[in-house]
Structure 1
């Protein structure tokens, strides 16, 4: 995920198109939604719609990218606090990531991909590349900066460490959220999960301070 403000080409009409498409995909699934339906919901002409997006796949990719940028902004905020230890920074990152995953629209889009991935394998591939894989690469890049600062061991696979950290976060809470059994406000559980995941990563891969046993 590249850090950037929302793209300048996001005119009000383009935003209306993306918002309308997201709402339709979440309510009806990917296969059932037509470009005509998106144009009607966004209150734009078909010519305007196709001038911005050549098809549903491009629209879905933009929705994924938009969510990815939102997540990046949340993670940047988490890292903006000064004086954070590695464990503290990972805890903040974990909390922000879990809060993002528990958002209603994020859970709904995840269910769309799970439900329609067999019929539309390109949709699943695009979602994986633009979402989970992108997050893992971003996190590995940040972990590299911590490694260079001497906070992480030198001989570790940072992509693997990133995968393990994210996997530790995606436990029973995420499953229940996917099934619609929890809301966005599970703050106590989010905090505990993030703290335990951060502690595990630091214990496994953190450097031992000078003078420590």
Structure 2
């Protein structure tokens, strides 16, 4: 049992090492310019080992997306929208973390890579959405639901998407196009505006009107 566990750990470490090497190659060369040979050269070892973990270049690319998205959203997961009574403060903290992660150079590179290869590998776009943006929406929607944000017949995923759209404004698009990444002050202003606009349209009688999360435990 101990030997099997040790072997499994070595395998996990080797897989992670191969992924790190592949991430570097894909970021440098893009999908078209990356090759399994080049990744093996970066990582060391044999091509047979690489293919044992990742049967094809497409499988490797999918694994890279899953790994990078998990790393990209980890700060948001750690922030874990908390059940405090101060709705505005929680939304502000959530939005700041979200925007900071979204505008990181590696996150921007990941978005560009997925958009560039989405036509050839549509499944990768679905993996990216489900593990990244989709997961953020679900996390925020659950918090809004706990705060009594429901409107008649409208799931909280809708206001969650609206809020994240307000936070992004045009900052994400401008960064993706390489026409400027917002500094800390600009991000802070964007977050403050988004929170104010979002709370201004809170459901009648809902928690947002008072800036508190009425259904949260204290």
Q: TM-score range by the shorter chain?
A: 0.7 to 0.9
- In the alignment, what sits opposite 1:175? 173
* TM-score under structure 2 length normalisation: 0.77
Residues 15 and 53, structure 2, Cα contact 8 Å, conserved in 1: yes
Cα offset, 1:157, TM superposition: 1.8
Aligned to 1:44: 45
The superposition leaves residues 104-163 of structure 1 with CA deviations (integer Å, 9 ceiling, x where unpaired) of 11111111122222233333333223322232223222322333xxxx245342111111
Residue 80 (structure 1) shift: 7.2
Tell me the TM-score normalized by structure 1.
0.78
Question: Larger Cα Rg: Structure 1 or Structure 2?
Answer: 2
**Equivalenced residues, count:** 197
Q: Confirm or deny that 1:192 pairs with 2:189.
A: yes
| Pair 1:205 & 2:202 matched | yes
Alignment CA distance shift 1:162-1:82 (3 Å): closer
CA distance in 2, matches of 1:200, 1:69: 30
- RMSD over aligned Cα atoms: 2.6
Write the distance in 1 (CA, Å) between the matches of 2:100 and 2:165: 15
> Residues 83 and 136 (structure 1 numbering): CA distance in 2 closer, same or farther, change over 3 Å?
closer
> Does 1:159 find its partner at 2:161?
no
Higher helix share: 2
Which sections of structure 2, spanning at least 5 residues, go unmatched? 1-8, 211-218
- 1:45-60 to 2 correspondences below 5 Å: 45-60=46-61
Gaps of 5+ in 1: 1-7
Q: Which residue of 2 aligns with 1:4?
A: none
Displacement of 1:87: 1.3
Q: Distance in 1 between matches of 2:141 and 2:11?
A: 29
CA apart distance, 1:48: 2.0
Quote how far apart the aligned CAs of 1:188 are: 0.9
Residue 199 of structure 1 aligns to a residue in which SS? Answer: helix
Shift in CA distance, 75/9, structure 1 to aligned 2, threshold 3 Å: farther
User: Given that residues 144 and 158 in structure 1 are in contact (C-alpha distance below 8 angstroms), is that contact kept between their aligned partners in structure 2?
Assistant: yes
SS at match of 2:31: coil
